[in-house]
Chain A
Amino acid sequence: MEQVLDIYLDKIDRHLRPMSASERSDIVREIRSEMLELSAQGLAAQDITARLGPPKAMAAAYLEGAITKNPRFSWSRLGAVAAFYSMAGLGGMIVLPTTSILAVVFMICGAAIPAAALLSLLVSFAGVEAPWVVMQIGGWTAPPLLAFPIAVLTGLLLLLGGLACWRFTVWFIRQIGEKHRSLAYGRRS
């Protein structure tokens, strides 16, 4: 196969990195099959890549389907989001990193704060002074017994905030996808 086509497939493979290796190779194999089909019909390599469109857009169409199919959070989906926003244009470059990072940070803090408060509570039960884990709100230091419910509440709010950011991220990608799609569907008619 001509080098232009191999380069094209290589680019697709690279853009699809957040997907599993088996899925990726199946996608590449299928596009490769069409390339061979087209060149058997006498199409030149340049015409084939022109027909398939930019490899980035092709990969984005696959990634978009993988991200927006369900709105639940997972690390592999976060990877897909990261790959997607790198090709989502200027608006996406600002909005998507912010909301997706906030989502993760909120969720981590939401888990870490109650964990710290629990630790402080246990340490105080054991009768040990633990100046390295205290809750301070302004100048006021909460006693461990009171700090725990406050921390749980704060953690819960942060988790909800993180989830909301994540939902927004998925929604935003879907909007971009819609725009992509209406362009794509309109073009060949």
Chain B
Amino acid sequence: MSLEDWRSQIKRGTLEFCVLLMIAGGECYGYELISRLERRPVLAAKESTIYPLLRRLLKEGMLSSAWRESAEGLPPRKYYTITDKGRAYLAAMKAEWGSLLLAIEEIEGE
């Protein structure tokens, strides 16, 4: 398997985690999430990945959303906030992630 394939697999598994982390840090709109991810090439993802992902998380009740007007000259934006269910899910993900990192460290040190 090429490094490229491996990287895209990792991204697939972690994008949901990163999106929830960002929204847990404060409400975000879609384009904001995409451009923040874009600054980190390992995580950069397209609109056709992020928007359907946000929609799924909304339907699963992890997020809630609201449309809001913006400053002059900018379009109204759809802001996402994390729900209690989403917070609980994120906490569980964090724990999993921590134990994954720990396990890798252990294996490296063996």
Q: A-side interface residues toward B, CB under 8 Å?
A: 26-27, 29-34, 36-38, 40, 51-53, 57-58, 61-62, 64-65, 69, 181-182, 184-189
Contacts and interface: CB of A to CB of B under 8 A. Distances in A.
Given A182-B8, A189-B7, A189-B41, A52 B48 contact: yes
Interface stretch (B68-76, B83-91, B101-109): B68-76
Contacts of A187: 46
A99 to B, nearest CB: 24
Contact of A30 (B5, B9, B59, B78): B78
Contacts of B29: 33
A189 B51 contact: no
A62 B55 contact: yes
Given A30-B51, A37-B75, 15 more contacts: A29-B67, A30-B30, A33-B29, A37-B74, A51-B47, A53-B47, A58-B48, A61-B49, A61-B52, A62-B55, A65-B52, A182-B9, A184-B48, A185-B11, A188-B41
18 contacts: A30-B51, A30-B78, A32-B75, A33-B76, A34-B47, A37-B31, A40-B75, A52-B48, A53-B48, A57-B48, A65-B55, A181-B12, A184-B48, A184-B49, A185-B11, A187-B46, A188-B45, A188-B46
A186 B8 contact: yes
Nearest to A65: B52
Nearest to A58: B48
A51 B35 CA distance: 12
A23 to B, nearest CB: 8
Contacts of B9: 182
- A interface majority secondary structure: helix
B4 interface: yes
B41 to A, nearest CB: 6
Contacts of A184: 45-46, 48-49
Interface of B: 4-5, 7-9, 11-12, 15, 29-31, 34, 38, 41-42, 44-49, 51-52, 55-56, 59, 67, 73-78
Nearest to A51: B47
B11 A33 contact: no
Contacts of A188: 38, 41, 44-46
A29 B78 contact: yes
Nearest to A33: B75
Contact of A185 (B12, B30, B55): B12
B44 A189 contact: yes
A55 to B, nearest CB: 10
Contacts of B45: 184-185, 188
Contacts of B38: 188
